[in-house]
Structure 1
Amino acid sequence: MTIGGDEGAATFVAFLRLDVLAGLTAAAIVLPKAMAYATVAGLPVSVGLYTAFVPMIVYALLGTSRVLSVSSTTTLAILAGTELGIAVPDGDPAKLVTALATLAALTGALLIAASVLRLGFVANFISSPVLTGFKAGIGLVIVLDQIPKLLGVHIEKAGFFRDIVSLVHHVPETSLLTLTIAAAALIALGIMEKLWPHSPAPLVVVGAGILISWVAGLNALGIATVGFIPRSLPSLTLPNAGLVEQLLPGALGIALMSFTETIAAGRAFAKPAESPIKPNRELLATGAANLAGAFFGSMPAGGGASQTAVVRAVGGQSQTASLVTAATSAATMLFLAPLLGLLPQAVLAAIVIIYSVGLISPAEFASIRKVRRMEFRWALAAFLGVLVFGTLQGIVVAIVLSLIGLASQSAKPRVYVIGRKRGTDVLRPLSADHPDDETFERLLILRPEGRLFFANVQQVADQIQALVAEHKPEVLTLDMSGVFDIEYSALQTMIESERRVAAQGITVWLAGLNPDVLDYLRASGFADKLGRERLFFSVHAALQRYLERAGGS
């Protein structure tokens, strides 16, 4: 018994050691990136540290993922920055703090409400191709937003394409020293990320930037630096109820993206042996993390894929790693704040660019185009929606496109003519790839697939009628095994179609009905009208009955 206890204690210590190492390694990457993302949103870098503190602790206590690391992300930063820019156009620091607290609190409240209403399935409302296009647009917007900081110039933001024109006009004003520092940071980050993926490259670059700034006195030379950072933990901040109406639409979009990113990252790094990610519990955990963070100066937060990858790669076993990262953030606020103030803005901009470029994936676009041209067009439309209409409106474009895509697929179900592989009992759709498959004289087997409802049933009925006119069967067998649901309007159309086909002297058989669909047919009286002799457990049973009847004839 003692041996078993000793082994258990040794295992616990080993896991704890791995979690501490993973948390410290993640902190070396998360904290510099969190500070950089705060600048994306037009906020002080200290806000990034706050976001890697309170939200991370709350999620660690409530989340269902063992290793998910929750703080700011590039997407959430740009969305929050856009919304804050609208709410506080003059950039007043006091107003920004209040607006940020209100935005984060709204985001958290919406996520918690979605959890109560069990809306976890909403995470699936944005299709993968559309999300690819949306993120690529976000990535491009972020990169363009950081380029002026690389050059040491300032432009008035007026939209993606007008910002490009403005940037070109300001190029002659470029500070060569700022550009040199930025180029060195970009090259160093690029090389380290390529040679040592998931290394603490941001921490190394931040440390080098601070050292150079201190030795060379960059601030005195006119190089923009982070500036004063309060040396303390975040203070209590209260939201402003008067801003709720103005910020609510933006908070809806941010809440959706926070949850989408959290679920995607959580699922991506879950091991088969671990408990599955629970969407509704994740809504509660991320909602509580955002709501609590709102009172302590935090930006809207969500699960980050890159930082979670680090935790998993280093061997993190539990949310203890996130607690270690949060503790490191607190220590940084208390002891390293004055040093961080020396950091050149150009270095932070380089970090943002390096970790935002990954959102733009031409290879993913090419892969989508290779598989499905229509979904490639949706990806492009979502990409252009962000650039043309803006980031928050881009979410609406992405959701609308996803829903249109879902509706178009649902509204065009296929109806297959079924044959039998010669010499076997295998039934399958007729195809040019299988020219030897056999069909049966005066029997037509059709297989509609998908949910039948008011928007698509007429197309299905038209396809069936056209095939009946082409093949002129005596018996039409509908293999309903691929129909998992039938709506009332569709059921009425089916009843009317059977009446029309029967008037042509054709007998309709139904086979492979799912239990729910069969219940609907019985409730409508259609099953009784057909009679048991025209309802079959499977299409194989229907075919056997037909062959027996034909042989008897």
Structure 2
Amino acid sequence: MARTDWIPGLQAAATYKPAWLPRDLVAGIVLTTLLVPQGMAYAELAGLPAITGLYTSIMCLLAYAVFGPSRILVLGPDSSLGPMIAAVIIPIAASDGDPAKAVALASMLALLVGVLMTAAAIFKLGFVADLLSHPTQLGYVNGLALTILIGQLPKLFGFSVDADGLIDETAGFVEGVASGATVPAALAVGACGLLVILVLGRWLPKIPGILLAVLGGIVAVAVFSLPDRGVDVVGPLPQGFPPFTVPSISWSDLGLLAAGALGITLVSVTDTISTASAFAERTGQEVRGNQEMVGIGTANLAAGFFQGFPVSTSGSRTAVALQSGARTQLTGVVGAAAITLMLVVAPDLLQNLPQPMLAAVVIAASLSLADIGGMRRLWRQRRVEFSLAVAAFLGVALLGVLPGILVAVCLSVLNVFRRVWWPYQAVLGRADGVAGYHDLRSYPDAELIPGLVLFRFDAPLIFANARTFREEIRHLSHAEPAPRWIVIAAEPITDIDTTAADMLEDLDEELNAHGISLVFAEMKDPVRQKIDRYKLTRTIDPAHFYPTIEDAVAAYRIAAS
């Protein structure tokens, strides 16, 4: 493989056009106005100091610019990963409440995610993203949005809640409000900021609502002396940039971190592939799934070695970059450089940023995550998949973020198994004015041929559904009058395993004892080759395999005449 295939940044640099530079510079500056407040807010959402969000943003943008294949995809701290990171590191670090330990745990978590992501790319395991079906992903994201919203409400109201889990956090918030713990000034500044973000995002999306809200919050702190009114602020940020650091953790913590890294990797891969696909359609690029995992993997490794935490792609930040005219990953590099410059030259710039304003930023992100319309569509279109979405939602809301992702994956896998276990089955007949043979459910007046049953089984024939197939054939064989041939329209049967082969052998002998022939039509060549390998033609007549249903029907008419 060519070097530029593994390091797309080299090819991007070699083919860069000077005419793109003004647009990339402008887009990078605009993007920075979003990266800074969101990075800080999502860091606190993950239970980490706000400054780590800026460190993370810088390193992941630089790494993805070198190894990421997309021209405009933007990475960074993500609202969907924040609760997952917190669910992993807070139980471990909470015993002593040491922020440095929390940062070390989060950095090691990022390194583990980076290793897993890169290994998945090397072994071409991008298909793992398919473990989260759309309905379960929809339910998971909605549950996550509610979890984030409830978790940030106390901060928006100016107080904190010591609770674990959605129900306890909701109860703690209600109790705090009822007991008068609300700080009016904090609620006022947070609510105004949230209103600005939502209104501008809805009706004037080209205006940077988050930036205006943040600047308004800083001005309000200075004008109204909000800290004297009980409003917490971010405080001074460390100047400069952290050195290369290998996080030091206890070996006893590694198992919990690895389990969390698996869940974060799965969510990040799914999010990355779906976001990359959506924006590739707009820009005319081809999605390179494995290289995307290399890009996101190296971004996590880079963040992990500089006191950062796991990252993923961001649809909202990518959309801002695209709308601002971004042409290449130089946009992200400009954003990283601008954040670095701020930390080196003006680290006190954001020290008066109110904490309720960061809560407003996170709450706005949680509202954008929620997709109520998608749930309504599932209700109208397919109730079974709506039920899966609700189950995934409840898994996140009631059990927690990490158990919720496990519930979502298990539901997706079980749904696939259910479809194979109980596939669609149909008896076919010839309908007037329509060529071929069709499902009697769709054509109840279709003509049936006396003594002949045409049966279609819409799934591979394997151990999970062999009993279902056998019972349905037995049911058809007991009809009155009894059929002489049962023809299996086998075109949808893409496989037959050894369990199903044994079942077919016993079933054929059972039918033969009652004077009924088991016949196959339209069987795919690879499946027929397996039939021969299993030596099923010892019992099933080799002549009872026909290339089309019409050929099987014609043969039956000759045999019955």
The TM tier, using the shorter chain, reads over 0.9
Paired letter, 2:17? F
CA deviation profile, 1:324-352 (whole Å, cap 9, x unmatched): 33223323323342111110001111111
Tell me which amino acid in the other structure corresponds to 1:394: G
Question: Cα gap change, 1:502/1:107 in structure 2, threshold over 3 Å: closer, same or farther?
Answer: same
Of the three residues 199, 208, 212, the one matched with 1:204 is 212
SS in 2 for 1:470: coil
SS of alignment partner, residue 429 of structure 2? strand
Query: 1:503 aligned to 507, 513, 517, which one?
Result: 513
Tell me the equivalent position of 2:193.
185
**Residues of 1 paired with 2:285 and 2:531: CA distance?**
39
Q: Does 1:146 align with 2:152?
A: yes
Query: In structure 2, what residue type is equivalent to 1:500?
Result: E
Letter in 2 for 1:456: N
Counterpart position of 1:378: 388
- Alignment match, 1:515: 525
Aligned partners of 1:107, 1:400: CA distance in 2, in Å? 21
Does the 8 Å CA contact 2:49/2:99 hold for their aligned counterparts? no
Preserved CA contact (<8 Å) 2:185 2:226 = no
Checking the alignment, whether the CA contact within 8 Å between 2:107 and 2:310 is kept in structure 1 is no
Q: Deviations 1:268-294 (Å, cap 9, x if unpaired)? A: 221277443233322222122111210
Q: Which amino acid aligns with 1:124?
A: D
Is 1:122 matched with 2:108?
Answer: no
CA distance in 1, matches of 2:476, 2:261: 51
Give 1:159-238 correspondences, 5 Å limit: 159-171=165-177, 172-197=180-205, 199-238=207-246
**Which stretch has the larger CA shift, 316-325 or 132-141?**
316-325
Native 8 Å contact 1:26 1:325 kept in 2:
yes
- Alignment RMSD (CA, Å): 2.2
* Partner residue, 1:418: 428
Change (3 A) 1:269 1:436: same
CA offset at residue 219 of structure 1? 2.9
The percent of aligned pairs where both chains have the same amino acid is 32
Residue in 2 aligned with 1:296? 306
The residue number in structure 1 matching 2:10 is none
Contact 1:452 1:490 survives alignment (8 Å): yes
1:269 aligned counterpart, secondary structure? helix
Q: Secondary structure at the match of 1:447?
A: strand
How far does the alpha carbon of each residue in 1:412-446 deviate from its partner, in whole angstroms, 9 at most, with x for none?
Answer: 01221112232442322122x42342222222111
CA distance in 2: counterparts of 1:10 and 1:406, whole angstroms = 44
Q: 2:498 aligns with which of 488, 501, 505?
A: 488
Unaligned runs of 5+ in 2: 1-13
Q: 1:272 to 1:506 in 2, by over 3 A?
A: farther
| Residue from 72, 75, 79 that aligns with 1:70 | 75
Quote the Cα distance in structure 2 between the aligned partners of 1:272 and 1:451: 37
Which whole-Å CA distance do the structure 2 matches of 1:532 and 1:21 have between them? 72
1:237: how far off? 2.2
Q: Counterpart of 1:478 in structure 2: which amino acid?
A: I
Supply the AA of the counterpart residue of 2:407.
V
Whether the aligned pair in 2 keeps the contact of 1:36 and 1:45 (CA below 8 Å) is: yes
Distance 1:292 1:270 in 2: 25
Structure 1, unaligned runs of 5 or more: 1-8
Indicate whether 1:456 and 2:465 are aligned: yes
Q: Following superposition of structure 1 onto structure 2, how do residues 31-430 of structure 1 map, counting pairs within 5 Å?
A: 31-89=36-94, 90-171=96-177, 172-197=180-205, 199-242=207-250, 243-271=253-281, 274-430=284-440
The one-letter amino acid of 1:118's match is: K
1:533 deviates by 2.6
Quote the Cα distance in structure 2 between the aligned partners of 1:42 and 1:263. Answer: 27
C-alpha separation between the residues in 2 aligned to 1:541 and 1:179?
A: 77
How big is the shift at 1:470?
Answer: 2.4
CA distance in 2: counterparts of 1:233 and 1:240, whole angstroms: 19
Q: Do 2:461 and 2:497's aligned partners in 1 also have CA atoms closer than 8 Å? A: yes
Deviation at 1:33, TM superposition (A): 1.3
Distance (whole Å) between structure 2 residues aligned to residue 270 and residue 80 of structure 1: 28
Distance in 2 between residues matched to 1:228 and 1:272, nearest whole Å: 41
Which runs of structure 2 are paired with 1:10-25 in the superposition (5 Å)? 12-25=17-30
Q: Distance in 1 between matches of 2:37 and 2:206?
A: 14
1-structure distance, mates of 2:97, 2:106: 12
Maintained 8 Å contact 1:413/1:460: no
Deviation (angstroms), 1:220: 4.0
Which residue among 20, 24, 29 is the counterpart of 2:34? 29
